[in-house]
Structure 1
């Protein structure tokens, strides 16, 4: 399992944008307003949110991004968000992000679970548990 310790300063601007991170049904959150809109939408629709706090310079983040995207397509009953910790520094700091990637599982805006690191089996397990908690019995 890989993590990157938070790096708050830019060593160099390479012009990269995290668009490659936000494939599938993953929504890229670039402002606090977008975050608030997505949280309201999820609450209205009764969806659990999985927020991936990532960074473009983080190797483990790059490694897990395609898997996160696959999960977003496999589980449309959940809302998948991507937050670039370097684009939303103050917002990310308010979530006490110490390493990337960090995944938060939120229901009605409240944290119900968390995963730090690019651990595919654990992410898969936690996402499946989130789906089960949303749809306890589909017969």
Structure 2
């Protein structure tokens, strides 16, 4: 079984300031949950494994027109992932459940920070 959820909030501001002509802030969350339940044919041992990933992100994109057909695009992004991973081993004949190995390190995190800058120059309005 699997669960996947994504939420995003976008806020945009258009208006000429010293730093930008357009700014867009995006805050997002993705949540993913997956489980596996398996056993060998004829075996009393049923293995349960569950993984979750909670991904949070913040992204700021800015755009600024400058002299002579030049436009700057720049921004920042932060991403944080939190991994949950558990395992249980069940004996379906005895009805017992004990902790089992997880597929991934439970509570593991991953973070990413990035920035970008790009330049666009429209040489002539007649040039596509």
Larger helix percent: 1
Alignment TM-score > 0.5, same fold: no
Larger strand percent: 2
Higher-RCO chain (CA-CA 8 Å, sequence separation at least 6): 1
- TM-score norm. by structure 2 comes to 0.22
- TM-score norm. by structure 1 comes to 0.21
- Return the index of the structure with the highest Cα Rg: 2
